[in-house]
Amino acid sequence: MTLNRRHFLAALTASAGVLSLGGRAFAQAPFVIPTYGGTWAKFWEEVLLPGFTKATGIQGQLDVGLGKDFVSKIRAGGAASPYSVFMGNENIAAMLRAEGFFEPLDLTKVPNAAKLHEGLMNPENNGLRGIVSPIGLAYRTDMIQTPPKSWTDLWTNPEFKGRIGLYQIGNTGALLFLRLAGKLFGSGDMDIDTAFTKIAELAPFTQASWSGEVATALMRGDVAIAPVDWTEIMTLQDKGAPVEIVVPTEGVLAYEQSFNIVKTGAAKDQAHAYINYLIDADVQSNMAKTFYTSPVNTASTVDAALAKRIPITGDAMSKIIRFDWDKYVEIAADVADRWNREIG
């Protein structure tokens, strides 16, 4: 049987009576912190987790994986999630939120939340976006004569035809670009019909499943231009690749890592402390140096050299184009199916 949102809500409601028992049973369980692999895991192991323990006295245990792994474990955990805090792209978090797995943040336990840039706290304190990786238009400087200035240049500059890279629908980047197309050319970001029509006009284009794959395609010259996050492009530049990235006139998209309190987790106080530490001004500055992310804390600073490379900082955070993912949850499955049928 395929479980849908209603099934998960029913299961959660049925298990409500044993939540308190589950909490006592896991009172001595380690505080498990989900994070991603590669450079992310290295930073968590060597910098973030030791700093968190030093600042709070809380011992954490990392669980390295992908967002889809964290979702599966929370769902499978039923009334006793292995996590008390969830980390994942906001569109993924919105899905779990709709299924009833999260509870609002207690902001008395997250004082750093008061320093967040506008738009990073979800309505009614239902999670916050704690790591922001802006997405601009990246291109090969040796393959493009006229650098892009606008997202619409993808459609109007004949130089880009057949040389564009996009994400597959399984990547949040594809959803962001799809909704951007609806916003640019249709009645709004939920105008999916117009978005599909406009993206089809860009064909043929190369699809990639994750940011590193797009970066590799740029590195090889398989594509000349693509929506990519600053992290990947700055890393390529560090390796000497002839790539550049611009802030389009309409603004940037962004991977926004959402942090939420899991209702069925046992370590709520530790989870609040972890989120508060993660959005600390100094922690965010360190992340910017490591990942080229944009600090979410208004008190964070980046030096002048770094600020030139990651322009979406400080007041420029207002250039991020955001969408309401809570409204999108109901159509997410249909959109993915349509993408696979019409785009491939």
Number of folded domains that form the chain: 2
Task: Check whether residue 150 and residue 63 sit in a common domain.
Answer: no
pLDDT tens, position by position, 260-284? 999 999 999 999 999 999 999 999 9
Mean pLDDT, to the nearest integer, of 312-324?
A: 96
Tokens matching residue 179: 């909704």
Tell me if 85 is assigned to some domain: yes
Q: Which residues contact 181 (CB under 8 A, 6 or more apart)?
A: 194, 195, 198, 199
Is residue 95 scored above 50 in pLDDT?
Answer: yes
CA–CA gap between residue 274 and residue 53 (Å, rounded): 9
Average pLDDT, the chain: 91
Report which of 290, 263, 294 is spatially closest to residue 279, judged by C-alpha positions. 294
Tell me if 292 is assigned to some domain: yes
Residue 316, phi then psi, degrees to nearest 5: -70, -10
CA–CA gap between residue 81 and residue 25 (Å, rounded): 12
**In whole angstroms, how far apart are CA 311 and each of 153, 176, 227, 293?**
21, 20, 16, 10
Tell me if 1 is assigned to some domain: no
Task: Check whether residue 44 and residue 188 sit in a common domain.
Answer: no
* Position 211 confidence tier, pLDDT thresholds 50, 70, 90: confident
344 or 311, greater pLDDT: 311
Tell me if 23 is assigned to some domain: no
Question: What is the domain-level CATH number for residue 280?
Answer: 3.40.190.10
Mean pLDDT, to the nearest integer, of 4-21?
A: 36
Tell me if 12 is assigned to some domain: no
Tell me if 293 is assigned to some domain: yes
Mean pLDDT, to the nearest integer, of 190-217?
A: 93
Query: Could you give the angle at the alpha carbon of 233 between the alpha carbons of 230 and 234, nearest 5°?
Result: 80
pTM of the model: 0.89
Task: Check whether residue 204 and residue 263 sit in a common domain.
Answer: no
Task: Check whether residue 274 and residue 125 sit in a common domain.
Answer: yes
Mean pLDDT, to the nearest integer, of 144-172?
A: 96
pLDDT at 5: 42
Q: Percent of the chain, pLDDT > 70? A: 92
pLDDT at 29: 67
Task: Check whether residue 336 and residue 200 sit in a common domain.
Answer: yes
Tell me if 142 is assigned to some domain: yes
Looking at 12-114, which runs of residues are DSSP E strands? 31-35, 60-64, 85-89, 102-103
Structural domain boundaries, residue 177: 133-253+329-343
Tokens matching residue 267: 């370590």
CA–CA gap between residue 159 and residue 219 (Å, rounded): 18
Residue type for 202, please? L
pLDDT at 28: 53
Task: Check whether residue 307 and residue 259 sit in a common domain.
Answer: yes
Task: Check whether residue 270 and residue 196 sit in a common domain.
Answer: no
Mean pLDDT, to the nearest integer, of 128-137?
A: 98
Using the structure block, give the residue that is written with the tokens 């959660």. Answer: 12
Task: Check whether residue 120 and residue 267 sit in a common domain.
Answer: yes
CA–CA gap between residue 221 and residue 139 (Å, rounded): 10
Mean pLDDT, to the nearest integer, of 157-178?
A: 96
Is residue 1 scored above 70 in pLDDT?
Answer: no
